[in-house]
Structure 1
Amino acid sequence: MTEPIHDEDLLEVQAADIPAEDGPHPDDRIDDERHDEENRLKPEYLRAVRDALEEGEKGEVYDLVEPLHPADIADLLELLDREDRALLAAAITDLMSSEVIAELNDHVREDMMEALAPEAVATIVEQLETDDAVQLIEDLDEDDQQAVLAEMEAEDRIAIESALAYPEETAGRLMNRDFVAVPEHMTVGGLIDYLREEGDLTHDFFEVFVVDHMHHPVGTCALSWILTAPRNVALTDVMKRDQTLIPVTMDQEEVALMFQKYGLISAAVTDDDGRLVGQMTVDDVVHIISEEAGEDVLLLSGAGDGDINEPIREAYVSRVRWLIANLGTALVASLIIAMFGAAIEKLVALAVLMPIVASIGGNAGTQTMAVSVRAIATNQLTRANTWRIVWREMRVALLNGATVAVLIGIATSLIFNPMLGGVIATAMIINIAVAGLAGVLVPVIFERLDQDPAVASSVFVTMITDSMGFFAFLGLAVASGLVSAA
C-alpha cells in the first residue's frame, strides 16, 4: 500500500539546476552572411570554418561560430566530417552548451560523447532537461553509461536511472520529471504566492497539476485560469477535473496520437499506482511525430535509420537483409515464369508485356499499402472498421484496374493482336484487384500479430503482386489458346 504524503511534500517541485542560456533569436539569423534565404548555413561560410580548422586558427574559428544560435552550431557540426567535428568542438569548448548537444543528430551526438571524458559528459547531462538527458545517456554503451552516471550528482543520477528502467520509446523513458504539483486544498491566491516565492521551479510549464494526499492527479489548472481567477477561489472550483492521463508504459506513438486527438499542450504521466511522476509536453510530442513519420517511411523502403550520419557498416547491415529477403521473394516470381517457359518461347510478346503487368500491380499495391500503414499508425484503421476499409480499397482497385486495363488492352491490340490485348487487360484487372487486397490485408495481419506493419509489408506485397501478375497473364494466355504451355 502506498504511504500517504504530507501537504508540504506535495509542494516539492523538481527543477533543472541551470537555466537555459540566452542565444540569438532565430529571426535575427535570416539573410545574414552565414545563412541563405532558406535559413541554412551557406557553403561559403562552411568553407571558411573548414579552412580555419585546417590552418589551426582556433581564434578565427571561434569568431566565426560564436554568433550562431545553438541549433545552428549543431547543424554546423553535422555538416562537417567526423575529424573536423572533433577539431571544432575543441576550438569552441565553452560554446558546446547543453542546448547544442540536445539539438545534435543521434549518431553525431554519440560520436561527440564518445570523444569526451565521463566527467565532461556528466556536466553536460546535468544541464539538460531530464528527457533530453535520458536520450543522451541511452545512446551510450553500457560501460560508458555507468562511467557517466558515477560522475553525476545523486539526485540527477537517480532520476536518469529511473527513466532508463522503462522500455525504450515509452512515456516513462521520455517524460519530463520537472513539473509543478500542489495540494487540492489551496486557493488561487495561495498558489500565486507560492509560484512567486518558490525559487526552485521548473522554467517552462503550461499548467499546474493538482494532486491529492496520495499524489494522485485530481485536476489541472492552466496558467491563464490562475492569473484571471479571484484570489480567494479554491483551486478545486477552477481546476479541470477531466484530464488525459498517460501511463508510464504507453508507447510514444500512442502518446502523440492522444495529444493530436485531444489538442493537448501538456499531460500528466502516472505510474502503475496512479501517482503523478512526470509530464509530457507538446514540444516532446512534435519530435515524436517527426521521428515516427520518418521511421515508417524508411521501414517501408527497408532503408534502416535512413540517416546520412549513420555509420556505413550499420547502414549496410540494415539494408542488405531486406535486399536478401527481396531476393528470396523474387525467386517465387521467377519460378512462376519458369512454369510457362515453353509458352514464352513460342510467343515473344509475352516476355515483352510481362514486366508491365507486374510493375503496375506493384505500384498499385504500394499505394494501398502506404495508405493502410498510415491509417494503422493514426488509429484510423482498427478492428472495428477493417472490412469496411478492405471493401473501400477493393472498389478503388477495381476502378483503377479497369481504367488501366482499357488503355493497355487497346495499345496491345493495335501493336500485337486483339486476343493478346484481351488477355493482358484481364490480367491487369486481376493483378490490381489482388494488389489492393494485399495492400490492406498484409499490414493488418502484421499489426494483429503485434508486429510493426511498416517493417516487412513491402516485401510480401511485392511478392504477391509480381507472382500474381505473372501467373494471371501467362495462365490466361495459355487458357485462352493464344499459346500452348508445351
Structure 2
Amino acid sequence: MADQLDLAPDSQKDENRLDKENRLKPGFVRRVLASLEDGVEESTYDLVEPLHPADIADLFELIDNENRPALAEAITDLLGADVLSELNDYVREDIIEFLPAEQVAELAGQLETDDAVAIIEDLDAADQQAVLEELEPEDRAAIEDALSYPEESAGRLMQRDLVAVPQHMTVGQLIDYLREHADLTTEFWEIFVVDPGHHPVGTCQLSWIMRTPRDVELGDVMKREQTLIPTDMDQEEVALRFQKYALISAAVVDESGRLVGQITVDDIIHIVQEEAGEDILRLSGAGEGDINQPIVESYSSRVRWLVANLGTAVVASAIIALFGGAIENMVALAVLMPIVASIGGNAGTQTMAVAVRALAMNQLTQSNTARIILRELRVAALNGLTIAVLIGIATALIFANPMLGWVIALAMIINIIIAGLAGVLVPVVLDRLEQDPAVASSVFVTMITDSMGFFAFLGLAVASGMVQL
C-alpha cells in the first residue's frame, strides 16, 4: 500500500493527506504516529516531506506531547523557521525545549524580527539568553531592542526591515537605489520618506513610483498625510487604526518621532483574530481557552471565575430565602422563577456582548455613552413587552390564575430592562476604571439579572396579595 501511495500523482497524494476543508485526515495522522512507534525515521520523513509548513505545524498540534519530540527529530530538515512561526504558542514551547540553542538561534535568524521575537519571548530567561548568545550580533541587537518594549505593543509587533529615503531623491534615483542594494528588504508595499533627522514626512506607494517619470522628486509625489504608530501603542489599538484608515502598512516611531520600524497588514490579520477570540473567551471566564494550554493553567484561569460566580449565586439565593414563606404557599412561584432569571440573563448577555464589542472597536466612547444607554433601554423595553405578553398569557392559561400571569409579565419587563441597563453599564464602568470589560462583565451582569429577577417576581407576588411571607 505504501508503494502504491508513493507512485500516485501529487493530487492523489494530497487527497490521501487532506480532506475537503484542507485539514489533515485522521488516517494520515495515524500513519505518522505508527511510523514514529516503529522507529523508522525515513518513513516518517517521507510521509511529512510533501506537506506545506502550515500543515506540518498542524500535524504537531494534532499529536500528543509525548510524540512531538520524536517527530521533531525525525523531520529535523523540515522543521524550519516557517513551521515554527505557524505553530501554536504552547506547542512551539514544547518543541523548542528539545532543540539546541544554536538551532533555535539559526531558525530565529531566518525570520522577520516580529516573528523571531514571538518565538524567543516565551522562553525561560536562561533559554532566552542562550539563544540570544547564538544569534548574529545584528539580529541579537534587533531582538533585544524589541524585547525591551511591553508585550502586545507596537514595538514588539513591528518589523525593522523597511526602505526609507530622503525626499530630495528622484524617482529614477530611488529605482536605481532599490536595484543596486541587494541587502534591502524584498517585501514591502510602500517607501517611507524621511527628513535629515530620520522623521517620517511621507510615503510613496510602489504603484506611484512605477508610473512616475524618473526626474520627478519624491517630495512632489509622496503622500504627506500618514498614520504614525507609537512604539508603546497596544496592538489592539494598532489593529483599529489599520481598520479605520484601511492601511496596508504604517510607520512606527519612537518617543522622539524617529522612524524605527513598520507594521504591515499581514501582522494585523493575526492580531484581529487573536483579540477577537480572546474577548469571547474572557466573556465566558475560560481564560485563554487554548486546547494546548497545560491543564494546571487552564484550571487556574477558570476556577477563580467559578468561585466568583459562586459568590454571586449566594446573593441570588439570599433573596430567594427572604421569600421562602411565599414560595411555600404557592409552588407555582418556584416553577416560574427559573424562567424569569434565565430570560433576564440571556437579555443581559446579549446587551453585554454588544457593549464589549463596541468598546473594543472604539464605537462606544464617552461622547456617545448616554445615547447608547438610551438605545439599549428602548431595545430592552420592546423585548420585555414581547416576552411579557407571551409568558403572561401562557402562565394565566396553564395555572388558571390571571393575577399570576400579570405578576410574571410585569416582573419580566422589569428584569429585561434592568438586564439591558446592566449589560451596558457594567462594561462601561469597568472600562472607565481601566479594567478589561471582557473579563469580569459576565459575572456581575449575571448576578444583577438573577437577583433582580427573583426580587421583582417574588416581590410583586407578595405585593399583589397572592401570597404572604
Q: Say which SS state the counterpart of residue 166 (structure 1) adopts.
A: coil
Query: TM-score scaled to structure 1, two decimals?
Result: 0.93
Paired letter, 1:294? G
Cα drift, residue 119 of structure 1:
1.6
Correspondence for 2:199 among 205, 211, 216: 216
Structure 2 residue 446 is matched with structure 1 residue 467 = no
Structure 2 residue 390 is matched with structure 1 residue 407 = yes
Cα drift, residue 28 of structure 1:
7.2
Q: Say which SS state the counterpart of residue 264 (structure 1) adopts.
A: coil
Between the aligned partners of 1:312 and 1:371, the Cα distance in structure 2 is 31
Structure 2 residue 358 is matched with structure 1 residue 375 = yes
Provide, for residues 214-250 of structure 1, a one-character-per-residue CA deviation record: whole Å limited to 9, x for no partner: 0000111111111110000001011111111101011
Between the aligned partners of 1:34 and 1:238, the Cα distance in structure 2 is 51
Aligned to 2:6: none
Between the aligned partners of 2:118 and 2:360, the Cα distance in structure 1 is 23
Paired letter, 1:238? V
Between the aligned partners of 2:12 and 2:455, the Cα distance in structure 1 is 60
Between the aligned partners of 1:211 and 1:29, the Cα distance in structure 2 is 53
Aligned to 1:270: 253
Cα drift, residue 124 of structure 1:
1.2
Percent of matched pairs sharing the same residue = 73
Provide, for residues 243-281 of structure 1, a one-character-per-residue CA deviation record: whole Å limited to 9, x for no partner: 111010111111101111111000000000000000000
Aligned to 2:97: 114
- For 1:29-108, what aligned pairs fall within 5 Å after superposition? 32-108=15-91
Provide, for residues 414-463 of structure 1, a one-character-per-residue CA deviation record: whole Å limited to 9, x for no partner: 11111111100000000000000000000000111111100000000000
Q: Which runs of 5+ in 1 are unaligned?
A: 1-26
Between the aligned partners of 1:29 and 1:436, the Cα distance in structure 2 is 55
Aligned to 1:256: 239
Structure 2 residue 119 is matched with structure 1 residue 142 = no
Between the aligned partners of 1:269 and 1:444, the Cα distance in structure 2 is 30
Cα drift, residue 30 of structure 1:
9.7
Q: Which runs of 5+ in 2 are unaligned?
A: 1-9
Cα drift, residue 127 of structure 1:
1.1
Between the aligned partners of 2:281 and 2:257, the Cα distance in structure 1 is 36
Q: Does structure 2 conserve the Cα–Cα contact (< 8 Å) formed by 1:130 and 1:177?
A: yes
Between the aligned partners of 1:29 and 1:194, the Cα distance in structure 2 is 47
Cα drift, residue 350 of structure 1:
0.7
Q: Say which SS state the counterpart of residue 279 (structure 1) adopts.
A: strand
Cα pair distance change 1:144/1:29, threshold 3 Å? farther
Between the aligned partners of 2:430 and 2:243, the Cα distance in structure 1 is 25
Aligned to 1:336: 319
Cα pair distance change 1:339/1:320, threshold 3 Å? same
Q: Does structure 2 conserve the Cα–Cα contact (< 8 Å) formed by 1:347 and 1:483?
A: yes
Between the aligned partners of 2:142 and 2:81, the Cα distance in structure 1 is 18
Q: Say which SS state the counterpart of residue 460 (structure 2) adopts.
A: helix
Aligned to 1:350: 333
**Deviating more after overlay: 461-470 vs 408-417:** 408-417
Cα pair distance change 1:340/1:381, threshold 3 Å? same
What RMSD, in angstroms, separates the aligned Cα atoms of the two structures? 1.2
Q: Say which SS state the counterpart of residue 15 (structure 2) adopts.
A: coil
Q: Does structure 2 conserve the Cα–Cα contact (< 8 Å) formed by 1:29 and 1:39?
A: no
Paired letter, 2:28? Y
Between the aligned partners of 1:71 and 1:332, the Cα distance in structure 2 is 49
Q: Using CA pairs under 8 Å that are at least 6 residues apart, name the structure with larger relative contact order, 1 or 2.
A: 1
Cα pair distance change 1:387/1:263, threshold 3 Å? same
Cα drift, residue 464 of structure 1:
0.2
Paired letter, 1:47? R
Cα drift, residue 484 of structure 1:
0.6
Q: Does structure 2 conserve the Cα–Cα contact (< 8 Å) formed by 1:130 and 1:176?
A: yes
The number of equivalent residue pairs is 459
